[in-house]
Chains A and B, each alone.
Chain A
Amino acid sequence: MSRSHLHPTPPHLRAPYLRAPSRAAFLAIVAGCVLTLVLAGCGGARTAGGAASATEPRPVVVFAAASLTAAFQQIAATNPQLDVRFMFDGSPTLVEQLGARPDVADVLATADEVTMGKAAQAGLVAADQRLVATNTPVLIVPKGNPGRITGLDSSLAGKKLVVCAPAVPCGAAAWAVARNAGYDLRPVSEEQKVTDVLGKVTSGEADAGIVFSTDAKRAGDAVATLPLPGAERVVSRSVIALVTQARHPEAATEFIRLVTGDTGRAVLASHGFTLP
Chain B
Amino acid sequence: MSRPSSAVPLPDWLLLPAALAVLFLLVPLLGVAVRVPWARAPALLATAESVDALRLSLLTCVGATAVSLALGLPLAIVLSRRDGRLAGVVRTVVTIPMVLPPVVAGLALLITFGRRGVVGSALSAWGIEIGFTTVAVVVAQVFVSMPYLVTSVEGALRAAGGANEEMAATLGASPTYALRRVTLPLMLPAVAGGAALTFARALGEFGATITFAGSLQGTTRTLPLQIYQIRELDTDAALALSLVLIVVAALTVGLSGWVARRTVRRRTP
Contacts and interface: CB of A to CB of B under 8 A. Distances in A.
Interface of A: 1-5, 7-13, 92-93, 95-96, 160, 162, 165, 167, 187-192, 200, 203-206
A12 B155 CA distance: 10
Interface in B114-151: 114-116, 131-132, 151
B214 A191 contact: yes
Contact of B165 (A1, A9, A189): A1
A200 B214 contact: yes
B101 interface: no
A191 B215 contact: yes
Given A10-B158, A190-B215, A204 B83 contact: no
Contacts of A7: 83, 158
Contacts of A187: 216
Q: Looking at A3, A190, A191, which has the most chain B CB atoms within 10 Å of its CB?
A: A190
Contacts of B233: 92, 167
Contacts of B91: 10, 12
Nearest to B87: A10
Contact of B116 (A4, A10, A13, A204): A204
A5 B161 contact: yes
B162 A4 contact: yes
Contacts of B116: 203-205
Interface residues of B, number: 37
Interface in B148-179: 151, 154-155, 158-159, 161-163, 165-166, 169
Contacts of B229: 165, 190, 192
A13 B155 contact: yes
Nearest to B120: A205
28 contacts: A2-B162, A3-B83, A4-B162, A5-B162, A5-B163, A8-B159, A9-B158, A10-B158, A11-B88, A12-B88, A13-B155, A13-B158, A92-B232, A95-B232, A96-B232, A167-B232, A167-B233, A188-B214, A188-B216, A189-B213, A190-B214, A190-B215, A191-B214, A192-B228, A203-B110, A204-B114, A204-B116, A205-B114
B68 interface: no
Nearest to B235: A96
Given A4-B162, A188-B214, A203-B114, A10 B155 contact: yes
Given A4-B80, A189-B132, A9 B159 contact: yes
Contacts, number: 88
Nearest to A160: B132
B114 A10 contact: no
Interface in B163-215: 163, 165-166, 169, 213-215
Nearest to A95: B232
Given A167-B233, A189-B220, A160 B159 contact: no
Given A165-B215, A165-B229, A203-B116, A188 B132 contact: yes
Contacts of B213: 189
Interface string B83-118: 100001001100100000000000000100011100
Contact of B154 (A3, A10, A93, A165): A10
A120 to B, nearest CB: 16
Contact of A4 (B81, B88, B95): B81
B231 interface: yes
Nearest to B157: A4
A205 B162 contact: no
A237 to B, nearest CB: 20
Contacts of B131: 160, 205
A257 B231 CA distance: 33
A92 B162 CA distance: 57
The 5 closest A-B pairs by CB, nearest first: A189-B214, A96-B232, A188-B132, A4-B162, A92-B232
B95 A2 contact: no
Nearest to A2: B166
A170 to B, nearest CB: 14
Q: Looking at B79, B81, B132, which has the most chain A CB atoms within 10 Å of its CB?
A: B132
Contacts of A96: 231-232
B228 A205 contact: no
Nearest to B163: A5
Contacts of A9: 155, 158-159
Nearest to A162: B214
A12 B90 CA distance: 11
Given A10-B154, A188-B132, A203-B110, A1 B215 contact: no
Interface in B21-75: none
Contacts of A2: 162, 166
A2 to B, nearest CB: 6
Contacts of A4: 80-81, 158, 161-162
Nearest to A91: B232
A205 B232 contact: no
A190 B229 CA distance: 9
A93 B228 CA distance: 10
A160 B163 CA distance: 56
A204 B80 CA distance: 42
Contacts of B214: 162, 188-191, 200
